[in-house]
A and B are shown apart, each in its own frame.
Chain A
Amino acid sequence: MSALEIKNLSVRVAGNDVINDFSLTVPKGEVHALMGPNGAGKSSLAKALAGHEDYEITRGEALLDGRDIVGMEPDETARAGLFMAFQYPSEIPGVSIANFLRAALTARLPEGETLKAPAFYKELYRAMDELKIDRSFTSRPVNEGFSGGEKKRCEILQMSVLKPSFAVMDETDSGLDIDALRIVAEGVNAMRGPNIGFLVITHYQRLLNYIVPDKVHVMHEGRIVKTGGKSLALELEEKGYDWLKSELTPAEAG
């Protein structure tokens, strides 16, 4: 199946169970929002999927186009087609954006093949122009000294160049002003299409004004408690997460 299918996933961090029997399917071509209060397990889910060693998957599967990524090395998962946009992207002194992306693309080539510089820069500049990122950024070290907005734009740039089949965006909206938020959303919207599925993790409804989701899931205490259309996000915004906690009826993920 052409989808990101998470089935009965349980995750443990430092001895605590943070994700419990979590199931969710994001078909290619769709954008799903995952919302929930702080501590619901949203970011833990993202890190576990990306293969972070501190997040131990104790049960379940995560299928990327039918291929189980549980137990894969993080770089293998990435090359299999999963992209993770970080909430707090790392600053990498001395490694330029161009060299970083070139290494990432080279890692995806068959052994012995090299990436031709003209083709690489053409693609890089296309993505930069689309995201209104100045071309001089290519020689700047990855995220070093970047503002919050610049870091998030750099994440979107990487996603645009690496062309994943699924992207998990971990609170990409946190700390962004409206202008930055709009640029990030435009980047995502430009990539939307039949060849990619998005799981957009957010605490606030605001981002979803710009990236309109096909489905909204609400997470609480490590599992999905409600699923609905885009109106669910508005309802949450209005009533707050406390309203949900009173319902607390686990819903089946769609």
Chain B
Amino acid sequence: MSLDRNQPEVADAGLGSSSVFQECLSGFGWAAPWIHKLKQDAWERFQRLPAPHRKDEQWRFASVQDLALDSFRLPVVAGDSSAGVPSFDAIRNASARMVFHDDALVEAPRLPDTLREQGVIYCPMDEALREYPELVREHLLTRLPGIGSQKYESLHAALFHNGTFLYVPANVEIAEPFITVHWSGLDDGTALFPHTLVVVGDNARATVLDLFQSVDPGTRHFVCGVSDVYAGAGSHVHYETVQNWNLNTVAFHLNSASAERDAALKSITVNLGSAHTRNEQHCRILGAGASVDTDSLTVAKGTQEIDQRTLQTHSAPNGHSDLLFKNALLDDARTIFSGLIRVDEVAQQTDAYQTNRNLLLSDTAEANSLPGLQIAANDVKCSHGATTGSIDDTNIFYFLSRGIPRRMAEELIVFGFFEEIVSRFDNDELSDFVRELVQNKFRN
């Protein structure tokens, strides 16, 4: 998004300038000293860390020239920030919902009394920092992905002020999802720093959806979001994100998912929007017998670049992690998948799998795949696999031989490729919502 496409470094201007940080900090006059220190330290780290470079292994194949921050600024809320925000009613069955517009709250959550009485907290991040500082402090920014975007993790820590906080106490089981909708577009050129912190207690159950989209297709935005999902012992947690920013957005989505003993944590990411997204996902097996599934579906077209870096860290025995990243590419789109499974010496009897499947629907699309394993334990089952290919002619012929015209056959095959991920949402409304989004993106 930089005006100067040859600019290789992140410029120390605009968003990166100290005046922006001071402006952000001035909004935290009420906050506890530890919050100020956390932000001050993060700001210094941001300034100290070098800008990404393609020669770094963790930035291999990635574009870095469009990451310049100089033309972005923090949003200024003047008047009604809900103006122009479309209503969102695709998913009616939810535990609670909140809506942000350029990180400003426009719809406060209405948590049912039954959940409130059980100690459940679902509120905007700024409220959580104000009302539950010690609960937040225990977790806040303690588990970052750390897969190459440390500079941007620091920028996020320094400048974030809002997002989602969900706390589910031990033994509380909640079936319906918590839905946070993030809109961009309050103004042109704004930078967003949505933060999501989900803490699910022992033997509890919860589902969270973060939905990112833009009010206007034309406004330019920089997004640097961080999410941290923590699944206590024996808990069941689903975390789902749909990234559908407009095509003038450059976005970082830096995600961490951690599972304690015997917890089952599933995450699904859908990447549709943005000009360029850097998505990092680090899942951690922290306790014995924990299980983490990490699924992702990307449909990229035009000149979109979706850069995905994953890490599965097994630090305890008998853990299970399964990662499936599927990318469908049209036009001149580019994707990068770089994944690593890391098994510590103590993590015996680990089962860890990593799969990347790329479906090329154009001769000029480019899918890069860099799978990897790093294993210190000696009794493990680990595998990784990557495939890249176009639609199989034999499969097309099978459809044709049943009287199905070629165009319809191709569409069904591509939708079938999506369906493996879409059908994994544990909520039919959500599956339908996502199915329509991905199918429309392919069709139009």
Contacts and interface: CB of A to CB of B under 8 A. Distances in A.
B408 A107 contact: yes
Nearest to B420: A94
Contacts of B105: none
Contacts of B416: 92-95, 141
Interface stretch (A35-43, A97-105, A199-207, A234-242): A97-105
A229 to B, nearest CB: 31
A92 B411 CA distance: 12
Given A75-B403, A108-B403, A95 B413 contact: yes
B413 A103 contact: no
B420 A89 contact: no
A90 interface: yes
A90 B405 contact: no
A224 interface: no
A107 B417 contact: no
A162 B402 contact: yes
Interface in A141-167: 141, 158, 162
B273 to A, nearest CB: 23
Given A90-B395, A93-B417, A95-B419, A79 B400 contact: no
Contacts of B400: 51, 73-75, 78
B406 interface: yes
A89 B398 contact: yes
Nearest to A144: B416
Nearest to B403: A78
Interface string B129-159: 0000000000000000000000000000000
Contacts of B392: 90
Interface string A38-57: 00000000000011110000
B405 A92 contact: no
Main secondary structure of the interface of B (DSSP, over half): helix
Q: For chain A, which range describes its interface: under 10, 10 to 19, 20 to 34, or 35 or more residues?
A: 20 to 34
B245 interface: no
A74 B404 CA distance: 9
Given A75-B406, A90-B394, A95 B412 contact: yes
A245 B250 CA distance: 71
A108 B401 CA distance: 13
Nearest to B405: A75
Nearest to A74: B400
A84 B397 CA distance: 11
A107 B395 contact: no
A86 interface: yes
Contact of B419 (A94, A103, A104, A158): A94
Identify which of B402, B405, B413, B420 gathers the most chain A CB atoms within 10 Å of its CB. Answer: B402
B403 A162 contact: yes
B415 interface: yes
B167 interface: no
B100 interface: no
Nearest to A76: B403
A141 B406 CA distance: 19
Interface string B379-403: 0000000000000101101111111
A94 B417 contact: yes
B418 interface: yes
Nearest to B421: A94
Contacts of B395: 90, 92
B412 A93 contact: no
A67 to B, nearest CB: 15
B402 A104 contact: yes
A50 B399 CA distance: 12
B408 A74 contact: no
A107 B415 contact: no
Contacts of B419: 93-95
B406 to A, nearest CB: 7
A57 B50 CA distance: 65
A101 B398 CA distance: 12
Nearest to A80: B403
Interface in B405-437: 405-406, 408-409, 412-413, 415-420, 423
Interface of A: 50-53, 73-75, 78-79, 83-84, 86, 89-90, 92-95, 99-101, 103-104, 107-108, 141, 158, 162
22 contacts: A50-B401, A51-B400, A53-B397, A74-B401, A75-B399, A75-B402, A75-B404, A75-B406, A89-B398, A90-B397, A92-B412, A93-B417, A94-B417, A94-B420, A95-B416, A100-B399, A101-B402, A103-B408, A107-B403, A107-B404, A107-B408, A108-B403
Given A84-B401, A95-B413, A107-B405, 12 more contacts: A73-B406, A75-B399, A78-B403, A92-B399, A92-B412, A93-B419, A94-B415, A94-B423, A100-B404, A100-B412, A103-B404, A104-B402
Interface of B: 392, 394-395, 397-406, 408-409, 412-413, 415-420, 423
The 10 closest A-B pairs by CB, nearest first: A94-B416, A94-B419, A78-B403, A74-B400, A90-B398, A95-B416, A79-B403, A104-B402, A75-B400, A90-B395
